[in-house]
Structure 1
Amino acid sequence: MEKRRKVSNPLALAVLVYLMAEPMHAYELGRRLQEHGKDRSIKYNRGSLYMVVEQLRKAGFVAERETVRDTQRPERTIYGITEAGRAELYDWMRELVAVPREEYPSFGVALSLLAVLAPAEGAGLLGRRLAALTEQAEEVRGVLRQAGEDQVHWVFLAEERYRLALVEAEIRFAADLAESLKDPTYERAWQRMREDMT
């Protein structure tokens, strides 16, 4: 069963991981997250990053270490992970890796209501989705190729390999569904259903 957490934003988990490596200020955290491509897996902006750091501080998972100031930049607070933050990080990671979570992606919602669209329109829209998914798959393959050339250790590519597996599975699913929508028996059933509704 999923635990109720004091701070449950996935960005908070990334912040804890990065602060475990070394204390830093929020601006540096944001730079590293972007540099390491975490913005491909975690949705955030500078404002949300600062907000999450503050939530983690209030929860006792991070603490202010020092405030630095140089003449070029505004004052910056350096944060470090606390023992409570370390315990939360490991507990949260173990839960996320071990326990499947029910998620509600918007495509799943659209699929649950797909019968509202005419079969030909649905098939056409799925064709557009397939084109976009194919581009995404190529982009991820490019990231993986480049990482291989750069000799990035495989464990740091797990999220990209997972992303590719999901995209490839969705491509197969969408292609099969688009073909099913073109079946004349479905077209006739859809027409009858539409007539019954009017």
Structure 2
Amino acid sequence: MAAKRKVGNLLAVAVLSVIIERPMHRYEIASTLRDRGKDRDMAIKWGSLYTVVQNMAKAGFLEIVGSEREGARPERVIYQITDAGRAELIDWTRELIAEPQPEQGQYVAGLSILAALSPDEVIELLGHRLAALDEQIATVRAEFDATSGSLPRLFMVETEYGLAMLDAERAWTRSFRDELAAGEFPGQDAWRNWHIDGMNQDNVDDLMEGGNQHP
């Protein structure tokens, strides 16, 4: 079971993962996270960074070790990780790697209510999704290839995983779309007729009976 964390969002573990290398101020933390693509891996909200760093200091995971000032810029407080912070990072990383957690993605949510759309519209929309996935995969792969020469693979395995997941999503989406386009999806005619008839309650039984086959 996942532990209840004193500071429980993924931005906190991302901060710990970079500040373990050396003391940093918040601007350096943010810059390092951006350079390593952590905003893509963890959907980081940058506006929360100040609060998260403060909360981790209150929790004893970070401590202030000094400050610096450049010209007229505000003074920058420098933090370093504590022994408790190191233990938290190790424990949290173990949990993230070893314990699968249900991820309620928007695509899964959309698929769960797919009957609200006609199969013909779904075919069109899946085509749009495939085009967007092709573009996204090409962008991430280009960034990965450009970075792979400057960072050890150890710091890029999350991007490898992300690409594998995108490839898998694209393959499944293409297969599903092709099945619909060929008219081979179980109960597809009843599904289409339900929309032609105005999603009439009287046709729900036909829709349920026609689509009760599984691959």
Q: Is this a same-fold pair by TM over 0.5?
A: yes
Structure 2 unaligned runs (5+)? 203-215
Could you say what secondary structure the match of 2:42 adopts? Answer: coil
Q: Deviations over 1:108-167 (max 9, x none)?
A: 00010011101010110010000010111111221232234x253222220111111011
CA distance in 1, matches of 2:46, 2:117: 39
Most deviating of 2-11 and 89-98: 2-11
CA distance in 2, matches of 1:24, 1:145: 28
CA distance in 1, matches of 2:145, 2:47: 33
The structure carrying a bigger helix percent of its residues is 1
Aligned AA (1:76) = R
CA distance 1:180–1:197, shift in 2 (3 Å): farther
CA distance in 2, matches of 1:152, 1:75: 31
Aligned AA (1:189) = A
CA distance in 1, matches of 2:96, 2:40: 18
Write the mapping of 1:8-23 to structure 2, written as runs, cut at 5 A: 8-23=8-23
Q: Does 1:154 align with 2:158?
A: no
How far is 1:187 from its partner? 3.3
Which of structures 1 and 2 has the larger relative contact order (alpha carbons within 8 angstroms, sep 6+)? Answer: 1
| Greater than 6 Å deviation, 4+ residue runs | none
CA distance in 1, matches of 2:160, 2:191: 38
How far is 1:181 from its partner? 2.5
How many percent identity over aligned positions? 42
Q: Does 1:38 align with 2:3?
A: no
Write the mapping of 1:27-106 to structure 2, written as runs, cut at 5 A: 27-106=27-106
CA distance in 2, matches of 1:26, 1:46: 11
2:119–2:192 Cα contact (<8 Å) kept: no
| Larger Rg computed on CA atoms | 2
Aligned AA (1:61) = F
Could you say what secondary structure the match of 1:21 adopts? Answer: coil
Normalising by structure 1, what TM-score?
A: 0.92
Aligned AA (1:22) = R
2:38–2:44 Cα contact (<8 Å) kept: no
The equivalent of 1:109 in structure 2 is 109
Number of residue pairs matched?
197
CA distance in 2, matches of 1:20, 1:151: 20
CA distance in 1, matches of 2:190, 2:37: 46
Aligned AA (2:201) = M
CA distance 1:75–1:5, shift in 2 (3 Å): same
CA distance in 2, matches of 1:92, 1:3: 8
Structure 1 unaligned runs (5+)? none
